[in-house]
Chains A and B, each alone.
Chain A
C-alpha cells in the first residue's frame, strides 16, 4: 500500500481545534517561563524594581507625614505602575525575544496567529503581575502598615484584572511599534507604560492635570481602574461605574491593538522588515 499526502485536518473536530489553539498559546507561555527562570534580569523585574518602588514611595509618604488614606492613594499608584509594567513586558517579549536573537521569521513562518502570541505571553505576565502585587502588598503592609485588601477583595480583583488588561493593550502596541520601526522602537517597551500611567493620575487625581490632558486621560482605561480602587479607600469617585467603563474601554482597545499588530505584521511582510529582523 502506498500513501500520498493530502491537505491536513480535512475533518478535524472542534475538540482538536481547541486543543491546537491551546497548544499554540502555551508555546509562548512556555518560552516566557523558561526565559524568566534562566535570566537574572527577569528576577530584577519581579522583585528588585517593585521592591525599590514600594520602599521609596512608602518612605516618601512617611516623610510627608501623610494620612493612611493619602498613603493608600499613593501606594495604589505604585502597585499599578509595577503590575502593568511587568505584565506588559511579558507581552512585548513575545516579539522582543525574537528581535534580540534575530529569529523573527521562524515565528511567523508557523501557523501562528496574533492572539496566540498575545494571550500566551499575557498569561505569564498575569502570573508575574500577581507575584509583584503580592510582594508589594507584603512590603507595604509590613513596612508602612498599608492594607492592600482595604478596598475590598472584589475591588482589588477588578483593579488587578484592569491593570492586566491595560498591560495587554500596551504590550500589543509595543509589539506593533517594534514591527513597524524595528529595533528603534524597542525603548517603547519601557517608556510606553510610564507615559500612560502619567496621564492616568498615577500619584495624583486626574483633576490636577490641564483640561485638555484630562480629556486624554478619560480615554485611558487605567484612569478608571485607579478611580475605582481609590473609591474603596474613601476617595469620592470621579466617574460613575469606573470599573465598567474601564473594562469596556480595555476590551475595545484590546481589539484595536490586536488589529494594529496584525496590520504591522502584514506591513513588515510588505516592507521586508520581518526579514531584516531575522538573521
Chain B
C-alpha cells in the first residue's frame, strides 16, 4: 500500500490523498484534525488534487419501507410475503444484528441491501448509493459471506480467491499479495491443494469470509456466519469479525440465530418477524424495551415476608426452594428500595443476586 502525502488544501476544498489499494485507486480525506504529513519534495504526484467538499452521511445503510413478495406457480399463483415494510439505519463502522426466527425475512432484507434482490416497494441506500439504480457502484464497496456458502467445487482455496479477486479488479502482484494475506489470516494455507468440495464445513466458512474481504469492503453482510460450526471455530470467527471492525472500521450487518453472538458482537440489533422489524436498539435497550424485567433473587430469614409484591416496580414474586425471585422493572432503580424495605421489616438478607434478562429471553418474547 502506497500513501502519498499532499499539499495543503485550498479554501472550500478538502485535502485528499491518493492511495493505491491493490489494483484500485481510492481517494482519502485527510482528517482536518489530524496532522498532515509534509508534502514531498519536487513535483507533486499527479494523483493529487483538491476535491470539492461533499457532505458525507454518517449512515452506511439506510432502508425505508422495504417490501418483497415472492411469487411462484403458473396456474395457481402462490404469493409469499417475505418483507412487509422494513426500515433501518446503520451507522458507519457499526456492527448491526438482524435477529428473527426462520422465515422472518432476514436473508431477504440482507439480499436486497446487497443488490442481489430487487424490492417491490421502498428504497435503500448503501454509502449513499441507491441499491436499485446504482447497484454497480455499490458492489465495489460491499461484500457478503453466508454461513452455508458454496463455491465451484473443484477449485482450490487460492483459486476461489483469485477468481473473485479478479472480478473485483485485482491483478498481478496486488492479487497475489491479497490472496496470500487472506489465506494466511484465515489459516487456509495448509489446505492449498484441497479442492473446495473436500474442505470441512469450518474451512469452507473461513474461505467464505476470506472471499468476502477480498475487496476490503466498507460494508460487509454476514448471513449466519457461524451456522453449524464447532464452538471453537465459532469463537475464532467471532473474534475475526470484531477485529475487522476494530482494525478497518468496516460496517457489518449480520444475521444470526445465536443470541450470544449478537449480544457479544452487535452495537445495535433489530428483531424481525413476519417481514416486519418489531424492535430495534442496543442489546441493553432491547432487554429493557420489552419489559421482561430484571430478577432479584433473595435468600431471606424469614423466608417470605408479606407485602414484598406490593412494592413499587415489583412485577412478580415467586418462591423457588429457599429463594425468592422478584421480577422488577429495573434492578438498578429498585434494588436499594427493596433492600431498605426488607431492613425496615427486620428481615435478615442472607444472599442477594441480580440477573439481567438474556437476549434469548427477549427473542423468545418477541418471537411469540
Main secondary structure of the interface of A (DSSP, over half): helix
Would you call B345 an interface residue if the criterion is a C-beta within 8 Å of the partner chain's C-beta atoms? no
Chain B, residues 118-162, CB within 8 Å of chain A (1/0): the string is 100000000100000000110111111010111111110001001
Is the CB of B49 closer than 8 A to any CB of chain A? yes
Contact of B166 with A23 in the complex, beta carbons under 8 Å: yes
Q: In B18-39, which residues have CB < 8 Å from any A CB?
A: 18-19, 23-31, 34-37
CA distance A255 to B107 in the complex (A): 34
Cα(A16)–Cα(B118), bound, Å:
31
- B167 touching A110, Cβ below 8 Å: yes
- With A12-B25, A111-B168, A271-B71 known as contacts, the answer to whether A1 contacts B150 (CB < 8 A) is no
Query: In the complex, what distance in Å separates the CA atom of A8 from the CA atom of B118?
Result: 24
For the complex, give the distance between the alpha carbons of A82 and B152 in Å.
26
Nearest B residue to A27, CB-CB: B166
* Stretch of A32-40, A127-135, A216-224, A239-247 with 4 or more beta carbons under 8 angstroms from chain B: A32-40
Contact (Cβ within 8 A) A8 B25: yes
| A194 close to chain B: CB less than 8 A | no
Residue pair A30, B114 in contact (C-beta under 8 Å): no
B47 in contact (CB, < 8 A): yes
Q: Which residues of A contact B51 (CB under 8 A)?
A: 6, 10
Check A107/B167 contact, CB under 8 A, given A1-B37, A6-B29, A11-B25: yes
Q: Give 1 or 0 for each of B254-266: 1 = CB within 8 Å of chain A CB.
A: 0000000000000
Which residues of chain B are within 8 angstroms of A24 by Cβ–Cβ distance?
166-167, 169
- Expressed in whole angstroms, the Cα–Cα distance for A4 and B248 within the complex equals 10
Of the 9-residue stretches A63-71, A97-105, A139-147, A163-171, which lies at the interface with chain B?
A97-105
Does A57 sit within 8 A of B, measured CB to CB? Answer: no
User: Binary interface profile of B, 205-223, with partner A (CB < 8 Å = 1, else 0)?
Assistant: 0000001000100100000
B141 touches A103 (CB 8 A): no
Which chain A residues (1-32) contact chain B, with CB distance < 8 Å? 1-12, 16, 19-20, 23-24, 26-27, 30-31
Task: Mark B340-363 against chain A: 1 for CB-CB distance below 8 A, else 0.
Answer: 000000000000000000000000
Closest to A272 in B: B70
In Å, the complex CA distance between A30 and B162 comes to 9
Is the pair B152, A97 in contact by a Cβ cutoff of 8 Å? yes
Q: Is A31 a contact of B70 with CB atoms below 8 Å?
A: no
Q: Which residues in A have some Cβ–Cβ distance to B below 8 Å?
A: 1-12, 16, 19-20, 23-24, 26-27, 30-31, 34-35, 38-39, 97-98, 100-103, 105-113, 116, 266, 269-272, 274-275, 278-279
Q: List chain B positions with a Cβ less than 8 A from chain A.
A: 3, 5, 16-19, 23-31, 34-37, 47, 49, 51, 56, 68, 70-71, 107, 111, 114-118, 127, 136-137, 139-144, 146, 148-155, 159, 162-164, 166-171, 196, 211, 215, 218, 249
13 A/B residue pairs, CB under 8 Å, sorted by A: A1-B34, A5-B218, A7-B27, A7-B141, A8-B25, A23-B166, A23-B169, A27-B166, A39-B154, A103-B150, A107-B167, A269-B115, A279-B150
